[in-house]
Structure formats: structure tokens, C-alpha cells
């Protein structure tokens, strides 16, 4: 089960109470106070683990408590400190205050460990309160109370490339073709109900992560469809691949403008991400019709096809590419490239993965 938002209550450990005790031995006259201190309560830590991919493990366990400190004992023996609580979360998790909405922690790096709540200090035993005027103190401190916070954990997936498109435009088919991800693929809308990540390998030593985001429709930023729930997962993605369906009953211009508008409404920063455009399902029509529709789309966005592709896109179809993806020349207001593709017949799939990799490398500089 995938879960990307959950509300939990976390509590640090209460400090142990100090001890009231006196030394009483047969040959020791006037033995004084010797009550030990209470143990410190356990702290609460959040730890990032790459092997965890969802927040589902919190669904049946929403009240998490660190161990309390043990009380002090006689003979100046201090109580045992409480065991700390380590809350394991996947990379990309934000810890948000439920009341104010403030982001308290933003956990990104594998192995990152942050103390969130400190356990209560143990109380002092009565040995600390003896004096010349109070040689028999009957008082010891109680331990400090635990600290409790109600927080919401929000998971925002971390990927290099995010697939953005209407439902049933071929996002799941593409990611299953180019990576080891195996999302459900079917001929109906909203097949993908949860985001999927796939690793695309480039050669032996290079790779990048692609995220298949559930379909976006008009009004997604206001909560229609599944968009509002999952748009958050492309917030951290630096590179977007718009997937426009050549065979859809929706006009190409409508698909493109709707996607841009929904991203802008959800987050103005998203609208400024580097992006490319894949015109999908070119196999669903004749090559002549696919060429005609590709040219029509290029005309709609006021761009001219290039004579020769640097990434070996098929010469049978018109393709647009910016001159260089290097940041010194790359224009973020235009798509890095536009190319028709088909996962079913493997049209332009390999060149697509290399072109996206070049965008990712440029963004990592």
C-alpha cells in the first residue's frame, strides 16, 4: 500500500524521579542522604532510509513514544536513561506542524538523522539538597515531563525526471519500457493511482530516476481527479517531461495549455522547471498522420524542426531540439526538445532517454 501523508503523535521520554534515601549501615554513624538522580528520558529522532519508500508503516502505529527514564535509587545510584526513539522515514519526507502548517524538518539525504524532541531531564536525588541547616532532606526532584507533538508527515518523491500528462497518455508504458518499474498498464484512464519510480540506466555507471505521476486533468490544482494529491511529487523534480497524446480526443493545444496552467496554479516554481515534450502514441496512426500532427504542434508553439538530431531521433519524423542543453545557452522558457515517441514500437525511446539524461546532467552541475 502506498501512503504519502499521515498524521502521527510523537512523545519524548519523561525524566526519571530523583530518589530520597539515606545511608544506613551498622558501623556508620549519622549516615547522610544518598538518593541517586533519575535517568534522562529518551529523545526522538527522525532518520532517513533509502530502503523505505512509503509512509504506510505508520498507518497502524500513530502514537510513538520514547522510553522514560528510570528513577534514581539509594547508594547514589542513578536511574537508567530511557532508550531513544528513531522514526524511520523515506527520503523526501517533510515533518509539518499540524496546527500552523510550518515545515519543521525537510529530510532528503539517505542516513540523515535529526533530533526532533529532547527527553525530559532526570530529577535530582536528595543528596543534592543537603546543607548545614538541612542535614536530612526529605525532598528529591521529579523528572521533567515528556514533550508531545502532533505532526503530519508528507512524502514528496525525489526524482530527476517527472512525467506530466493527462490520464492514459502512455506514462506508465514509457516508464515500464525504459526502467525496472512495473506499474499497471491498461486501456482506461487513472490506471495509475499511486506514483511510481524507475531507474533508467545509461551505460554501466550512469543513471537517473524517473517518476510516473498519476494523470493530471483540468482543475487538478483545485482538487479535481487525483492531481492535487500527487502534484506534490513533482515539486522536487528539476526536469519535467510533458507527454502529449497524438491520438487523444483532446486537442494537442488543449492538453499542452491545460498542463501548463495546472502546474502554474499549483506552484509558480513548477512552471519554471526545465522541460521537454514527448508526443506519445505515434503508433496509433499512420506515419504520415503522425508527421502532420507533429508539425502542427511545432507550429502551435512557434518552433521549427531541426535538420539533424544530436540524439539520433528518427529522421522519419520532425523533431525540435535546442542548440545546447548547457545552462549558458539553454533557454528555460522553451522545451529542450520535442519528439514523437511510441513505447509500443520502440520509436525514439532510446534517444529520448539520452536526451533526458543530458538535461539531468546539466541540472546537476
Q: Are 330 and 362 in contact, with CB atoms under 8 Å apart?
A: yes
Grade residue 236 by pLDDT with cuts at 50, 70 and 90: confident
Q: What is the CATH number of the domain that holds 221?
A: 3.40.50.300
Q: What is the mean pLDDT of residues 255-277?
A: 82
72/32 same-domain check = yes
Q: Give the pLDDT confidence score for residue 175 in this predicted structure.
A: 87
109/169 same-domain check = no
The rounded percent of the chain whose pLDDT value lies above 90 is 49
Q: Are 213 and 164 in contact, with CB atoms under 8 Å apart?
A: yes
Last residue of a domain, one of 100, 125, 155: 155
Position 283 pLDDT exceeds 70: yes
Q: What is the CATH number of the domain that holds 126?
A: 2.70.210.12
Position 67 pLDDT exceeds 90: yes
Provide the domain count of the chain: 2
Looking at per-residue pLDDT, the higher value among 64 and 206 belongs to 64
Q: What is the mean pLDDT of residues 193-205?
A: 75
pTM: 0.69
Question: Rounded to an integer, what distance in angstroms lies between the CA atom of residue 319 and that of residue 333?
Answer: 18
Q: Give the pLDDT confidence score for residue 329 in this predicted structure.
A: 61
Q: Within its chain, how far is the Cα of 32 from the centroid?
A: 58
Looking at per-residue pLDDT, the higher value among 226 and 105 belongs to 105
Q: What is the mean pLDDT of residues 277-297?
A: 94
Q: Give the pLDDT confidence score for residue 337 in this predicted structure.
A: 94
130/181 same-domain check = no
Q: What is the mean pLDDT of residues 315-319?
A: 93
Looking at per-residue pLDDT, the higher value among 216 and 308 belongs to 308
223/270 same-domain check = yes
Cα angle: 253, vertex 254, 260; to 5 degrees: 90
325/244 same-domain check = yes
Last residue of a domain, one of 155, 171, 191: 155
pLDDT in tens, 11-39: 999 999 999 999 887 776 677 899 999 99
Q: Give the pLDDT confidence score for residue 138 in this predicted structure.
A: 92
Grade residue 188 by pLDDT with cuts at 50, 70 and 90: very low
Q: Are 156 and 236 in contact, with CB atoms under 8 Å apart?
A: yes
Grade residue 209 by pLDDT with cuts at 50, 70 and 90: confident
Q: Give the pLDDT confidence score for residue 190 in this predicted structure.
A: 39
Domain that holds residue 268: 161-364
Q: Are 234 and 162 in contact, with CB atoms under 8 Å apart?
A: yes
- Closest by CA to 92, choosing from 76, 111, 71, 108, is 108
232/328 same-domain check = yes
pLDDT averaged over the chain?
84
98/167 same-domain check = no
Q: What is the mean pLDDT of residues 87-99?
A: 91
Grade residue 333 by pLDDT with cuts at 50, 70 and 90: confident
265/124 same-domain check = no
Position 212 pLDDT exceeds 50: yes
94/240 same-domain check = no
180/212 same-domain check = yes
Q: What is the mean pLDDT of residues 231-247?
A: 82
Position 60 pLDDT exceeds 50: yes
Position 135 pLDDT exceeds 50: yes
Position 211 pLDDT exceeds 50: yes
**Number of residues assigned to the chain:** 365
Grade residue 292 by pLDDT with cuts at 50, 70 and 90: very high
72/207 same-domain check = no
313/187 same-domain check = yes
Instruction: For the beta carbon of residue 275, count every other beta carbon within 10 angstroms.
Output: 24
Last residue of a domain, one of 155, 182, 202: 155
Amino acid at each position: 500500500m502506498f501512503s504519502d501523508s499521515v498524521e502521527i503523535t510523537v512523545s519524548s521520554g519523561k525524566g526519571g524521579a530523583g530518589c530520597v534515601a539515606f545511608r544506613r549501615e551498622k558501623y556508620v554513624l549519622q549516615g547522610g542522604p544518598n538518593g541517586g538522580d533519575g535517568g534522562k528520558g529518551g529523545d526522538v529522532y527522525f532518520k532517513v532510509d533509502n530502503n523505505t519508500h512509503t509512509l504506510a508503516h505508520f498507518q497502524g502505529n500513530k502514537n510513538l513514544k520514547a522510553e522514560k527514564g528510570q528513577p534514581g535509587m539509594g547508594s547514589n545510584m542513578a536511574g537508567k536513561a530511557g532508550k531513544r526513539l528513531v522514526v524511520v522515514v523515506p527520503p523526501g519526507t517533510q515533518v509539518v506542524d499540524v496546527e500552523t502548517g510550518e515545515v519543521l524538518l525537510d529530510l532528503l539525504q539517505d542516513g540523515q538523522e535529526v533530533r526532533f524532541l529532547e527527553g525530559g531531564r532526570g530529577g535530582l536525588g536528595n543528596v543534592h539538597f543537603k546543607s548545614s541547616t538541612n542535614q536530612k532532606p526529605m525532598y528529591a526532584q521529579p523528572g521533567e515531563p515528556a514533550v508531545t507533538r502532533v505532526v503530519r508527515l508528507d512524502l514528496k518523491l525525489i526524482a530527476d525526471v517527472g512525467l506530466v500528462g493527462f490520464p492514459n497518455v502512455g506514462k506508465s508504458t514509457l516508464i515500464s519500457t525504459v526502467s525496472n518499474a512495473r506499474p499497471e498498464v491498461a486501456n482506461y484512464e487513472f490506471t495509475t493511482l499511486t506514483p511510481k519510480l524507475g531507474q533508467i540506466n545509461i551505460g554501466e555507471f550512469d543513471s537517473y530516476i524517473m517518476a510516473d505521476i498519476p494523470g493530471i486533468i483540468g482543475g487538478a490544482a483545485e482538487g479535481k481527479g487525483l492531481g492535487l494529491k500527487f502534484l506534490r511529487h513533482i515539486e522536487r523534480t528539476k526536469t519535467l517531461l510533458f507527454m502529449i497524446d497524438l491520438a487523444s480526443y483532446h486537442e494537442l493545444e488543449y492538453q499542452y495549455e491545460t498542463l501548463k496552467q495546472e502546474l502554474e496554479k499549483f506552484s509558480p516554481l513548477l512552471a519554471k522547471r526545465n522541460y521537454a515534450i514527448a508526443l506519445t502514441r505515434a503508433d496509433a496512426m499512420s506515419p504520415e498522420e503522425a508527421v502532420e500532427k507533429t508539425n502542427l504542434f511545432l507550429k502551435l508553439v512557434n518552433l521549427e524542426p531541426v535538420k539533424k538530431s544530436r540524439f539520433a531521433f528518427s529522421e522519419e519524423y520532425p523533431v525540435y531540439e535546442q542548440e545546447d542543453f548547457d545552462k549558458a545557452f539553454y533557454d528555460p522558457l522553451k522545451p529542450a526538445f520535442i519528439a514523437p515517441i511510441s513505447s509500443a514500437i520502440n520509436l525514439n525511446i532510446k534517444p529520448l532517454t539520452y536526451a533526458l539524461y543530458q538535461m539531468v546532467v546539466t541540472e546537476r552541475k
